[in-house]
Amino acid sequence: MSIDRLLERFLRYVQIDTTANDQTDEYPSSAGQWDLGRMLADELHGLGLADVQITERGLVIATLPGNRPQPTPVMALNSHLDTSPETSGRDVRPQVIRDYAGGDIVLPGNPQQVIRVEENPELNSVLGKTLITSDGNTLLGGDDKAGLAIIMEVVARVSADPSIPHGDLRILFTCDEEIGRGVDYVDLAQLGADVCYTLDGPAAGHLDVETFSADLATVHFQGVNIHPSMGKDRMVNAIRVAAAFIDRLPRSELSPETTSDREGFLHPYTLEGGVADAKLKVLLRDFDTPRLAEHAQRLQQIADEVRPEFPGCDIQITVTQQYRNLGDGLAKEPRAVALAELAHHRLGLACQQSIIRGGTDGSRLTELGLPTPNLSSGQHNPHSPLEWACLEEMEQAVEVVIELMKLWGAQAKT
pLDDT digits (tens, 9 = 90+) for 376-410: 999 999 999 999 999 999 999 999 999 999 999 99
Q: What is the mean pLDDT of residues 313-319?
A: 98
Give the predicted TM-score (pTM) of the model.
Answer: 0.90
User: Alpha carbon of 385 to those of 29, 46, 114, 141: distances in Å?
Assistant: 22, 33, 9, 10
- At 252, is the pLDDT very low, low, confident or very high (cuts 50, 70, 90)? confident
Pick the last residue of a domain from 306, 322, 338: 322
Average pLDDT, the chain: 96
Query: Side chain identity at 173, as an amino acid letter?
Result: F
Q: What are phi and psi of 145, to 5 degrees?
A: -75, -20
Residue tagged active-site, from 82, 178, 367, 393? 82
Residue 242 in domain? yes
**Residue 390: helix, strand or coil by DSSP?**
strand
User: What value does the mean pLDDT take over residues 318-323?
Assistant: 93
SS3 label, residue 220: strand
Based on the fold, state whether residues 140 and 204 are members of the same structural domain. yes
With H, G, I as helix, E, B as strand and everything else as coil, classify residue 133: strand
Residues 148 and 192 in one domain: yes
> Is residue 414 a part of any domain in this protein?
no
Question: What share of the chain has pLDDT > 90, as a percent?
Answer: 94
Q: In whole angstroms, what is the distance from residue 414 CA to residue 41 CA? A: 31
Q: What is the pLDDT of residue 412?
A: 86
pLDDT given at position 414: 79
Query: How many domains does one find in the chain?
Result: 2
DSSP letters for 239-307: HHHHHHHHHTS-SSSSSTTT--TT--EEEEEEEEE-SSEEEEEEEEEESSTTHHHHHHHHHHHHHHHHG
pLDDT given at position 348: 97
Question: Residue 1 pLDDT > 80, yes or no?
Answer: no
- Asked if the peptide bond before residue 202 counts as cis, ω within 30 degrees of 0, the response is no
End position of a domain, from candidates 322, 345, 376: 322
**Which of 32, 35, 29, 39 is closest to 17 using CA atoms?**
32
What CA–CA distance (Å, rounded) separates 394 from 404? 15
Domain boundary among 287, 322, 357: 322
Mean pLDDT, residues 308-326: 95
Lowest-confidence pick of 123-127, 360-364, 388-392: 360-364
Look up the domain containing 393 and give its range. Answer: 2-211+325-409
Question: If DSSP codes are grouped into helix, strand and coil, which group holds residue 359?
Answer: coil
**In-domain check, residue 333:** yes
Asked whether the beta carbons of 150 and 377 are under 8 A apart, the reply is yes
> What is the predicted pLDDT for the residue at 112?
97
With H, G, I as helix, E, B as strand and everything else as coil, classify residue 4: helix
Residues linked to residue 44 through DSSP beta bridges, in sequence order? none
Instruction: Tell me, yes or no, if 82 is annotated catalytic.
Output: yes
Answer whether 176's CB lies under 8 Å from 182's CB: yes
Read off the pLDDT of each residue in 36-56 and give the average, rounded to a whole number: 96
pLDDT at site 50: 82
153 is catalytic: no
Q: Which of 177, 277, 361, 403 is flagged as catalytic? A: 177
